[in-house]
Structure 1
Amino acid sequence: MSGYRIPEIAKQYTNYDMIMNHTSLPDIPEIRTRVLFAFLEQDEGIGASSELYTLVSSLLQMGMDTHDTVSIHNDNKEKTASLERQLRVLAGDYFSSRFYQLLSNSGDIELIKLLSGGTCEVNRSKMMLYMKMKNGRLTAAEYLQLSVQVRSQLLLSFNSLLTGRNQILWPGLVQLVTSCEVILEELFRLDSIQDFHEGYGYWHIIHKGSREDRKGLQNKDWDFTKLRAMVHKYRLTSMLNEQFESNYEALCTKVHDCLPDTLAAGLLQIVEPFRRYVAKSQVLNEI
């Protein structure tokens, strides 16, 4: 896995002055991307194409993530805001087109079909998530489940290309890695009034909080002090930490089932940020 250089290769498709000077782009999902590359590199049927396959998957994911940053509202009519909005739409389209171009040039038509199907599943999961949000019927558990589905679906598209034991282990591994990633982001969202809205904590309180707390949350009447009080009152950090540790332990068990041993060792190194967070949270709980 020492040959991993996807971020460097991707720069030739993402680092354009017009984009860099006028807007920002989502980062490549580093842990998911490295896990994908590690699995593909070790698979007998894919190994030689692992870099290309990981690159196109990353570009396609960046395209979707970039489109997700485009506000559905167009209240800001300023020229700068309008340009940024347009660039994000165009950048997302561009990354997606590169996915098609690179695979077409290499003759990997089957992977175009698989990843296009995966994209459809991602969009289907997004629509389910957005509709439940709009109707106010989304529970915190459903929010996490659908968020994991949205982020994992593209990687699951590779399952039919994997061989032997890798094909058996891949879906569960993707699910656990993505769950850890999503929960960790939700933990960080608890510290931001702006990001808290419509995250795990928001939906937990909407469904299980008192009438007064629900009303204050929906009316956005909270300041940071109030937010911290509600996070403590509803044990939001503790609940997410418990879920994170459970998923991380299951992930480690799954990784130890991987063969060869070099793959297992490499995967544990990739998910090291998860282990460090678990260790840090356990220390804080003891204080």
Structure 2
Amino acid sequence: MKPYRINELASKYVEYDMIQTYTELPAFPDPRLRLLHAVLNEHGALAPKSELYSLVVSLVQLGMDTHDLIDTEENRRSEKEMRARQLKVLAGDYFSSRFYSLLSQAGQISMISKISTAVCEVNRLKMDLYIKMQQSKLKAEDYLNKLTRLKSEMFQLFAEMMEGAFVKLWPEMLQDVSRCEAVLDEMERFDSSSRFYQSWAYWHVMQEGTPDEQQRLADKPEPSLIYDLLGKYELQSRLVSKLKHAADNLRSTAAKLESDQLKKVVQDLADSFLEKMAAHTSA
């Protein structure tokens, strides 16, 4: 199996001084990429292209995630804020465009079409989610399921290329890895009152909370209110349970794998999610 170095390869396109100085980028989708790279290496015909496919998917995903960070509110911004916003737009466009040139140079024209189709589907899913959020028609579990699918959709395009046991195991592993990532993201949103808005915890309280709590949440909640709600509705422990369940599923799937190398990659991913969860809860 080729060693994993996708983040190193992607740094060539990501680490620009202008971007690092004036704006922030989203987290690199490392767990999903580690899984993809390892699984592709188990397929004889796909193994030689494991790095190329993983790299282009990383850049497309990073481009879409960067665009998601763009502030769409029509407020007055400082020059620094405007520059950061403009750089997010440009950076997202640049990352997304690189997959065309990388694949065309490698003669992988059909893969360009597949990735473009996947991007369209991701955007459709985002619009569906945003509309339901605006209409306040979301249940907390539905929200988390949609987030999980958004994270997995770009990687799901490889399902039709899988062979043997991976026809069934690839979607299962991808689902569990994406859900772990989604849950960890939601746990981090506890730390900020601005990010708490329309998070999984927000939708849970809007579903289960009192009318007074729901009203106070809709009016930009104070940190003290969020702290009280975290305890009253055991929001952190609920997410911990969801993450442990997904990580356990991932370990169970790993036990079914024939390749010891791939089994280790998947088990290490499950362990890393639990370690991150423990670090966050202890903090």
Same fold (TM over 0.5): yes
- Range class of TM-score, shorter chain: over 0.9
Q: CA deviation at 1:239?
A: 1.7
- Counterpart AA for 1:259: E
For structure 2, list consecutive stretches of 5 or more residues without a partner in the other structure: none
> Matched residues in 2 for 1:165 and 1:44: separation?
14
Q: Look up the SS of the partner of 2:111 in the other structure.
A: helix
Tell me how far 1:180 sits from its aligned partner: 1.1
Number of the residue aligned with 1:201: 201
Distance of 2:251 and 2:277 partners within structure 1? 12
Shift of 1:191: 3.1
Q: Identify which range, 82-91 or 55-64, moves more after superposition.
A: 82-91
Structure 2 match to 1:90: 90
Contact 2:254/2:266, CA 8 A, preserved across alignment: yes
Q: Where do 1:143-154 residues align within 5 Å?
A: 143-154=143-154
Structure 1 contact 41–50 (Cα < 8 Å) conserved? yes
Q: Distance in 2 between matches of 1:2 and 1:11?
A: 18
Find the counterpart in structure 1 of residue 73 from structure 2.
73
Question: Post-superposition shift, 1:281?
Answer: 9.2
The answer to whether the 8 Å contact 1:43/1:166 transfers is: no
Taking structure 1 as the reference length, the TM-score comes to 0.92
Establish whether residue 40 from structure 1 lines up as the match of residue 60 from structure 2.
no
Distance 1:73 1:281 in 2: 30
Identity %: 37
Q: Which residue of 1 aligns with 2:17?
A: 17
Cα distance in 1 between the residues matched to 2:203 and 2:15 = 37
- The equivalent residue for 1:237 is 236
* Amino acid corresponding to residue 261 of structure 1 in structure 2: D
Give 3-state SS (helix, strand or coil) of 1:190's partner: helix
Q: Which residue of 2 aligns with 1:273?
A: 272
- Distance in structure 1 (CA, Å) of the matches to 2:257 and 2:121: 27
Report the Cα distance in structure 1 between the residues aligned to 2:96 and 2:278, rounded to whole angstroms.
38
Contact (CA 8 Å) 2:32, 2:178: kept in 1 or not?
A: yes
Could you say what the CA RMSD is over the residues aligned between the two structures, in angstroms? 1.9
1:256 aligned onto 2:272: no
- Size of the aligned set, in residue pairs, is 282
Checking the alignment, whether the CA contact within 8 Å between 2:126 and 2:150 is kept in structure 1 is yes
Is the 1:166–1:258 contact (alpha carbons within 8 Å) kept by the matching residues of 2?
no
CA distance in 2 between counterparts of 1:241 and 1:270 reads 16
How far has the Cα of 1:46 moved from its partner? Answer: 0.4
CA distance in 2, matches of 1:34, 1:277: 16
In the alignment, is the contact (CA less than 8 A) between 1:140 and 1:200 conserved in 2?
Answer: yes
Q: Is the 8 A contact 1:40 1:50 kept in 2?
A: yes
Following TM superposition, by how much is the alpha carbon of 1:117 offset from its aligned partner in structure 2, in angstroms?
A: 1.4
State the match for 2:28 in structure 1. Answer: 28
Residues 180, 247 of structure 2: 8 Å contact kept = yes
